[in-house]
Amino acid sequence: MDDQNASDDLETLTHVQHLKAAVHYTVAKICEETGEEKHQTFSRQSIATISELTYRQIGSFAEDLELFARHAKRSMVGIDDVKLLVRKSLPLANHITQLAETLSSGTEEKKKKKPQRRKKKVSSTDPELNYQDNSTVENID
């Protein structure tokens, strides 16, 4: 594997470094937030350690998510895979399930609109039918 990737190393290395830098930036911001809440300061080393930890954790998440999706015979990672990822801690699972519901409520509204339109069409055709029926009745008279 390493031999195959050796030629790409120079290109991917800078890409990985970019991503690690991005993670480091956000981790530093979150640590700053926490520090203000708890009246603490974070040493540079501790922030660097948390960001390295986070980067590796994301890698582990990626492997798990891919395997979950593959096990369900899908190539697309979905919401259910993420729910499976956080099964170990109940509060986090609840939080994620709640967030998933708020995210999917937007798409559900779109789905609800379609049947409503159908109903309107049916209701609009009904009076016409009635009218036609009446007219035929009138004609007969």
- Degrees, nearest 5: CA angle 108-110-111: 65
Question: Nearest to residue 93, comparing CAs of 84, 102, 105?
Answer: 84
Neighbours of 92 (CB within 10 A): 12
Q: In the bound complex, what is the minimum distance in angstroms from residue 25's beta carbon to another protein?
A: 9
Q: In the bound complex, what is the minimum distance in angstroms from residue 136's beta carbon to another protein?
A: 53
Q: In the bound complex, what is the minimum distance in angstroms from residue 126's beta carbon to another protein?
A: 39
> Of 16 and 121, which CB lies nearer to another protein in the complex structure?
16
Residues in touch with another protein (CB under 8 A)? 12, 15-16, 19, 22-23, 26-27, 29-31, 33-35, 37-38, 40-43, 45-46, 49-50, 53-55, 57-59, 61-63, 65-66, 69-70, 75-79, 81-83, 85-86, 88-89, 92, 95-96, 99-100, 103-104
3-state secondary structure of 40: coil
Q: Which residues contact 41 (CB under 8 A, 6 or more apart)?
A: 35
